[in-house]
Amino acid sequence: MSRKELTTPLAFEPIFIERIWGGRRLESEFHKQLPPKKRIGESWEIVDRSEAQSIVAGGPLRGKTLHELWTQHRQEIFGQAPDTPRFPLLIKILDAREKLSLQVHPPENVAGRLGGEPKSEFWYVATADPDAELFLGFRQPITRDEFGERLPDGTVVDHVHRIAVQAGDAVFLPAGRVHAIGAGNLLFEIQQNSDTTYRVFDWNRTDPATGTTRDLHVEQAVQCIDFEDVQPKLIQSEGELLISNQLFEIQKWNLIEAREGVPPGHFAIICCLTGNLTCANAKLAPGQFFLVPAHLEDRQLKPLAPRTSLLRITIPV
């Protein structure tokens, strides 16, 4: 592939995942064409995994998978990027019509021992019901034994820290933080490329289709949970930068006039939050993503409506 073929940002087909806690808000809020009569909890927007692949939706590279781009055209599309076997991020939209299970993802020093993958993640609240909340960490330190004793009757939830949220809030969840998404949240999630989750409590609910409860992973979870993780806070940003670490850098832009999306030789993933924007004749509406290739000639992000805002996602090198 020559650089001349890169004439526009790359958009990908979303992958919709049915979840017991999901709803239809991706359709009503972001006009996504969901399969009928299903509770869609997740839209995987950018993914490179053996079991799930983002596919380019249009243009000269239509039909190519993200893995093909990463392994065969890395320099042209991604420029200076980490040398990893797969694209290192997984980006989703989550529609929590009901609350998710209380869960944890493994830190790197534990994941290998348990046969899983490490996973830290970032959430940005796109919309939220008036009483929406997140469950993050603990109200006070708790011992592993006490945690285990309070799981069977569900009173462990009384020890979990809760934060009321609204649209525009953001939080970082390092691996090892016990957490759950409360009902009524529509979130953007940027995370390590991992799908390892250990559920510790699922609110004693049953699957309406089967009448069964979901599997729990208490033994694995207690090896991962940081029991000293007390009263974590939402991100309090100053300026455009929301977070920057070795995994990803995320900025929020209020796009008032045209701006270069990313310096030449680097790529960026852009998510439209509000309004509308364009780059090299590719348009984005709220809830849509595209990837600005490292060697795209026209890199200007231009607002098409008042109060246009976006998330800009990059990987520090």
Share of the chain above pLDDT 90, in %: 91
Q: Point out which residues pair with 128 in neighbouring strands.
A: 185
Residue 186: pLDDT over 80: yes
Q: By three-state DSSP, how is residue 24 classified?
A: coil
Q: H-helix or E-strand containing 268?
A: strand 268-274
For the chain, what's the residue count? Answer: 317
CA separation for the pair 94, 89 (Å, rounded): 16
Q: What is the pTM of this model?
A: 0.96
Averaged over 220-248, what is the pLDDT?
A: 96
Q: Which residues contact 143 (CB under 8 A, 6 or more apart)?
A: 227
How many angstroms separate the CA atoms of 122 and 237, rounded?
14
pLDDT tens-place string over residues 89-115 = 999 999 999 999 999 999 999 999 999
Domains of the chain: 3-78+85-224 (2.60.120.10), 241-314 (2.60.120.10)
What is each CA distance from 40 to 18, 32, 44, 93, 277, in whole angstroms? 4, 11, 11, 10, 26
Average pLDDT (120-139) is: 98
Residues 264, 287 contacting (CB under 8 angstroms)? no
Q: What is the pLDDT of residues 49-59, one digit of tens each?
A: 999 999 999 99
- Non-local (6+) Cβ contacts of 241 within 8 A are 249, 250, 251
- Written as six digits, the tokens of 76 are 């042209």
User: Is 199 tagged catalytic?
Assistant: yes
- Pick the catalytic residue from 25, 177, 199, 312: 199
**Residue whose pair of structure tokens reads 């098409």 in the numeric block:** 304
Residue 124 in tokens: 């940005």
Structure-derived torsion over alpha carbons of residues 136, 142, 145, 148, reported in degrees to the nearest 10: -30
